[in-house]
Amino acid sequence: MSAFTRIDLSRLPAPSVVDVPDYEAILAEMKAAASAAMPELAPVLELESEPALKVLQVCAVYVMLSRAEKNDAARSVMLAFATGSDLDHLGALFGVARAVLVPGDPAAAPPVPAIMEDDTRLRTRIQLALEGFSTAGPVGAYTYHALSASPLVRDVAITSPEPGAVLVTVLATIGDGSSDAALLATVESALGAESVRPLTDLVTVAPAQIVSYAVNAEIAVLDGPDPALVLAEAQAAATAHVEERRALGMGVARSGLFAALHRAGVASVTLTSPAADINCTALQSAHCTAITLTTGGGA
């Protein structure tokens, strides 16, 4: 995202309201309580075959499940953890609704469901919602309004090449991230509203510059694991990593690719492409055109 102060939710400490239940501790508490109420039970509760112990073990499991449900309920009202309809309700508090990417067709046979904005993007817009209450002078406000202009906007960068001039760079969600004229016009129209843009700002909307690259690597698999399974896991991890790096100003480091490819069962990774780290400016986004992995000798 653009360079304004926004709390990284992933770096927040674990909420204290979320309990970490310990089965053995719960069972020990129950055994102690039962022994205090009926001292004659204390010796037999140490026997694994004792029916009374089995009852306490079942009770301990249910306490664990109850606490897990409480944890889920607590997380469901936190922006960092809420998903699905719980996240929709958090968005409603700020007037932010989940965007429709592709409309559905309920009259079709069978009915075609709509394709909706994913949780990650919606969570970002909710976090930026308060910025949207300001006329789009601050970077955060421009970012919020640009993201809300269309669900096809994946990321935006807000820069000021000179006083009074604002450059809004748009990265699209589809294809390699290049924004077509229609998407740029949609964003420009949203930012041009009188309630959004300060009168003194000259706003220009431009497409992101796409830096294309390919990943080519040879993976040596340890003796024992199935090379096909190891390769598939490495492929999935690399795909997730390069997708995560698809944002303006976010380059791709070889060290990150090594970490993604070095799965369990991998002896070594020889990364031939990219040959160097890919560094992107705020106006650029890296796009992986292909990931080609081959297996080498084991170790």
User: pLDDT for 44-77, tens place per residue?
Assistant: 888 888 888 999 999 999 999 999 999 999 999 9
What pTM, to 2 d.p., does this model score? 0.72
Neighbours of 259 (CB within 10 A): 14
pLDDT score for 297: 59
Phi then psi for residue 62, to 5 deg, are -65, -35
> Does domain 100-207 match CATH 3.40.390?
no
Three-class secondary structure assignment of 91-126: HHCCCCCCCEEECCECCCCCCECCEECCHHHHHHHH
Averaged pLDDT, groups of 10, the chain, 299 residues long: 65 88 92 90 85 92 93 93 95 91 89 92 90 72 91 94 91 94 95 75 93 96 91 96 95 97 94 96 96 80
Q: Where are the domains of the chain?
A: 1-77, 100-207, 210-296
Nearest to 153 by CA among 173, 134, 168: 173
pLDDT score for 154: 95
Q: Across the strands, what pairs with 266?
A: 221
pLDDT score for 298: 56
pLDDT score for 16: 87
User: pLDDT for 82-108, tens place per residue?
Assistant: 999 999 999 999 889 999 988 999 888
